[in-house]
Amino acid sequence: MKEICVIGAGKIFQLYHLKSINLIDSITIKHVVDKNFDLAKRVAYDIGAVPHENLNEKIDCENFFITVPPKFRVEVFNSIKDYAKNIIFEKPVTLKNAEAQYINKVSQEKGINVLVAQTRRFFPNLDFTKKILINRPLKKVKIKASEGALFNWASESDYFNNENPDDHGIFHDVGSHIFDYIIYLIESIIDVKSLEVKVVHSAFDFNQNANNTYTKCIIFNKQIEFEIEVRLSRSANFSNLIVINDGVHSYLTRSLMAREIKMLTSEDILLMPIPKIKPSFDLDDVFYNMWLDIENVLETNSKENSRISLESVLHTTQLMQTIIDQMTVVNNLDETYYE
């Protein structure tokens, strides 16, 4: 039985991860740490774990799942790096690429397996799309992604209302899903040793009620050029879609739920039959599949076959940092870009 310590007992853990962890017989939650000790005690009592208020004393555990807000991730990592063997971070691993690189460097030196809970790497539509594109003669690929929903996150700590200039709201929250989905897809098609990015346009509205972003960038590779356009919003109720154009065909898929995939030709949409695939996975299944991946890492003490190793996520953190570094802050971005 592999024991894990959960650091941060908020809604992310309670609503999305706990159910999957409880379904895996080989994993048990032994410790729960949260600065809100009443919350730690309540969650720990419900699952038969030991509550802790902080990390001032060494936790008798080797496996850690860190879900505290991203700005505290390095601090938590430094508290456990001398005795941890396996660490899973909720996405995004950190708010800054330099911090992610630091965690990767130190964890490699100390032999710690570090994973990042990039859940959408386990959506079956991603595998389906990859299988289509990998057999296409690709030269230039255009990827357009949009995701939006009214802000309704129920945070235990009210974290999202605490202003932090390093935290770009929905860009870090949802963008860490979307950009990672795109990077993972690209790296499933070609080997990207060095990420070369040109930011064409990057804009962000810090307004908590709007909290919109627009990004257009180009990722260069010797074989293929990828043009990426991403729109994210907390005030516009966008369809959850990714459209991929390979120069001849367009492929419409979803960036979130894997309910349906349609393949459309760009020349004669009305006359062309539309094959459909309807995977049975829902969000709970996807989280469970991710925790099966984590279970394998804990059992083998190796991240070699994991989809979510920190090393595999570093191009995502690099891409997002490059976009942030060239980001223009504007007001009422929804009126400008979301008509």
328 in the same domain as 180: yes
143 in the same domain as 277: yes
pLDDT digits (tens, 9 = 90+) for 130-180: 888 888 888 899 998 888 765 454 444 444 455 566 667 778 888 899 999
pLDDT band (50, 70, 90) for residue 46: very high
Domains: count for the chain = 2
Q: What phi-psi label fits residue 299: left (phi over 0), alpha (psi between -120 and 50 degrees) or beta?
A: alpha
127 in the same domain as 90: no
Rounded CA-CA distance 133/136 in Å is 5
Range of the domain at 47: 2-119+287-309
Does the pLDDT at position 36 exceed 70? yes
pLDDT digits (tens, 9 = 90+) for 102-131: 999 999 999 999 999 999 898 877 888 888
32 in the same domain as 178: no
150 in the same domain as 236: yes
pLDDT digits (tens, 9 = 90+) for 232-256: 887 666 667 788 998 888 888 765 5
Q: What CATH number does residue 131 fall under?
A: 3.30.360.10
So what's the pLDDT on residue 17? Answer: 94
Rounded CA-CA distance 334/339 in Å is 7
The pTM of this model reads 0.87
251 in the same domain as 109: no
- DSSP code per residue over 253-283: E-SS--S-EEEEESS-TTTS---EE-----H
Cβ atoms of 330 and 214 within 8 Å: the answer is no
190 in the same domain as 47: no
65 in the same domain as 22: yes
So what's the pLDDT on residue 44? Answer: 96
Q: What CATH number does residue 76 fall under?
A: 3.40.50.720
Q: What phi-psi label fits residue 147: left (phi over 0), alpha (psi between -120 and 50 degrees) or beta?
A: beta
299 in the same domain as 154: no
200 in the same domain as 182: yes
115 in the same domain as 170: no
| Coil/strand/helix, residue 184 | helix
So what's the pLDDT on residue 240? Answer: 72
92 in the same domain as 241: no
